[in-house]
Amino acid sequence: MLALALSLFLIRKFGITGGYHRYFSHRSFKTSRWFQFVLALLGGMSAQKGALWWAAHHRHHHQHSDAPEDIHSVKQQGFYWAHVGWILAPDYNEYDAKRVKDLVKFPELVWLDKWHFIPPMLLALLCGWLGGWAGFLWCFCVSTVVLYHTTFFINSLCHMLGKRRYETGESSKNSFIMALVTLGEGWHNNHHYYQHCARQGFRWWEIDITYYVLKILGWLRIVRDIKEPPRHVVEATLERTAAA
């Protein structure tokens, strides 16, 4: 049962990191329409609303990171709001479709976004069918709660704890521990410095499991045009970027 719970955590976490974040929000690689739908479905099973909602708000965050307009800034609104408060507030139930005009042209994505409760509901029913109440509790409920908080820690803790390699004009930080539990998202300062690449662990020792999975999918020709950080970005440091 615990093995299934861990598997569902990892699969759905990739749906968030590889799908909602690196593909839908930042378009850091390309893929076919059918696999695009798979990514939206996997991310949707995490119960973090639809890909269009997620991407629209994330793009807004990058445009206004740590500014008064940022919807989840530790600097502006504190830890609780940045971590989970903004998601629970009714203010952000909707999203600006203009921010995701590259995505709203796909009716299947719009449908999944409108009916975002269906994928997690079906997964919950499947977990209950396979494992009874224990399956529902561990494989869906506990797995989903852990998935929530490891995702939300990027908005909160990764703007509070860790180290900075680059001067980015906001508070993002790199965290090795958070990178491990979020499949590579913990290299948050790297990401804020050069956000449009699929690789967030820029150095060889910066473990980025999502990127490794994307490379395997690239070898299988399921994804393509995986964007890498250019050499001058990888070799830059906080001092050099600040001086520049």
pLDDT digits (tens, 9 = 90+) for 107-141: 999 999 999 999 999 999 999 999 999 999 999 99
Averaged confidence pLDDT in the chain: 94
Q: State which amino acid sits at residue 153.
A: F
Confidence band, pLDDT 50/70/90 cuts, at residue 1: confident
Buried b (16+ CB within 10 A) or exposed e, 164-173: bbbbbebbbb
End-to-end CA distance of the chain: 53
Average pLDDT of the residues in 192-220: 97
Q: What is the pLDDT of residues 27-52, one digit of tens each?
A: 999 999 999 999 999 999 999 999 99
The mean pLDDT of 48-57, rounded to a whole number, is 97
Give the HSE-up count for residue 72: Cα atoms under 13 Å, Cβ half-sphere. 30
pTM of the predicted protein model: 0.94
Residue with tokens 């997620």, as numbered in its chain? 54
Amino acid at 11: I
